[in-house]
Amino acid sequence: MNLEDLVHRTALRIKMHKITGSVVHHVALLKRGLENQRVSCEMMKGFCVIPQTKEACVHYWVRETSTGLDFDIGFAVACLRTPELAAVHPVLLEELPEGFERSDMEEVMIRTHNESLFDLYHKDQKEFWRLAPADVRNFSIKFV
């Protein structure tokens, strides 16, 4: 199974099992699953930008270290919930490009929560997983 298929399949399972948690939890699940398969990767924080509309929002994803390929479980789950998003074709960037407008500025609580989870993950993974919702902690990535 290639990694893109794994991301899509994982997104389907997250939706089907109604896994709670935030996008950071879902990214951490994907990262853990990839690492269990000996894929070297890192959790990234940056911006999801839509070039056509010049909109951007803070976003999280997994980057495979050896190839630099990005895997966006958050967008995959969002597309399953709202299929018309698939036509958007966002770009993941580490820095906010000049001239782009932030579309997430009103979501202060969500942004703050995700940023604290991202920071906790990088500071103390054991504590991150201990504090994660039970369905997130117990979810496993299936490789076939």
The answer as to whether 100 is a domain residue is yes
The answer as to whether 142 is a domain residue is no
- Residues 119-140, mean pLDDT to the nearest whole number: 97
Output the pLDDT for position 122.
Answer: 98
The answer as to whether 137 is a domain residue is no
- DSSP character for 95? S
- d(C-alpha 7, C-alpha 71), whole Å: 7
pLDDT at 42 over 90: yes
Count Cβ atoms below 10 Å from residue 44 Cβ, excluding itself. 19
Element of type H or E holding 70: strand 70-71
Output the pLDDT for position 142.
Answer: 73
What are the CA-CA distances from residue 137 to residues 29, 46, 133 (Å)? 8, 25, 6
83 token code pair: 């299929």
- Residues 20-34, mean pLDDT to the nearest whole number: 96
Collapsing DSSP to helix, strand or coil, 24 comes out as helix
Parent domain of 113: 3-130
**pLDDT over 90, % of the chain:** 86
Give the predicted TM-score (pTM) of the model. 0.93
Span 66-81, pLDDT tens digits: 999 999 999 999 999 9
Q: Place 6 in a pLDDT band, splitting at 50, 70 and 90.
A: confident
> How many structural domains does the chain have?
1
Which of 28, 86, 94 is CA-nearest to residue 59?
A: 94
Q: How many CA atoms lie within 13 A of 133 on its CB side?
A: 13
